[in-house]
Homo-oligomer: A and B are copies of this chain.
């Protein structure tokens, strides 16, 4: 195993750049941190370029990393790569999947969600609900942001999670006769009236302003969740969970 001691090492500098969205977008790479996420990343070995291990961390005995190179670094470098305050000292450098094709029947489309915890939780929820693919539109927080990866708890590696133009996706899905349900209080019907079917796409939007109006105008139908009490709205990840499970189990 290679051992790197200096944080001036060019490879270390390159890894540290992956903490920024700019560099992740440019390089098409991202970094995952912690035993659980590294293990999840290794379920798609073809996308893992290398594993980084703090000198203070033991490589877990059962970890199946195949031919993937492991580089040991000082604890100090490990802390510099970490997004968490108490890092487990293990990282994987991964390629962002390039394949943007999917022939699923159920989709979650995400428009301009800003909070990394919300985006990650929605990716996790879509996975739990057995959704075939998640499409993240422009204006959302980066799906490879460390906090998004943590909140999603490995679901990025369980199904396609793609960047995409949501307007084009709505056209494409509707051309395949897949109904696209927007979420909006205006011109919507209560969600329990949504038609039941094997195939559907759910479109959710920004925490404050909701789904972009131009996208809402293109949907098959817009749904709302009734507010029975005095709160003004639901958290977007909670709303996505209620609607995905309704659509999934309504059949």
- Which A residues are closer than 8 A to B by beta carbons? 117, 121, 124-131, 151, 153-155, 158-159, 192, 225-235, 237-242, 245-246, 248-249
Contact = CB atoms under 8 A, between A and B. Distances in A.
A239 B229 CA distance: 19
B230 A158 contact: yes
A229 B235 CA distance: 23
Given A124-B235, A234-B124, A239-B241, A229 B117 contact: no
Contacts of A232: 153
A129 B229 contact: yes
Given A117-B117, A225-B245, A231 B192 contact: no
B229 A131 contact: yes
A127 B248 contact: no
Nearest to A132: B229
9 contacts: A121-B235, A127-B230, A128-B234, A129-B228, A130-B229, A225-B245, A226-B249, A238-B238, A238-B241
Q: In the complex, which of the residues A125, A154, A155 has the most CB atoms of chain B within 10 Å of its own CB atom?
A: A125
Copies of this chain, how many? Answer: 2
B121 A238 contact: yes
A51 to B, nearest CB: 22
Contact of A127 (B130, B154, B229, B237): B229
Given A117-B117, A249-B192, A127 B231 contact: yes
A229 B157 CA distance: 12
Given A235-B241, A245-B246, 10 more contacts: A121-B235, A127-B230, A128-B233, A128-B234, A129-B229, A151-B235, A154-B231, A159-B230, A238-B240, A242-B242
Contacts of A227: 128
Nearest 9 A/B pairs, CB to CB: A130-B228, A238-B241, A158-B230, A127-B231, A127-B229, A130-B229, A128-B231, A242-B245, A128-B227
A229 B125 CA distance: 9
Contacts of A228: 128-130, 248
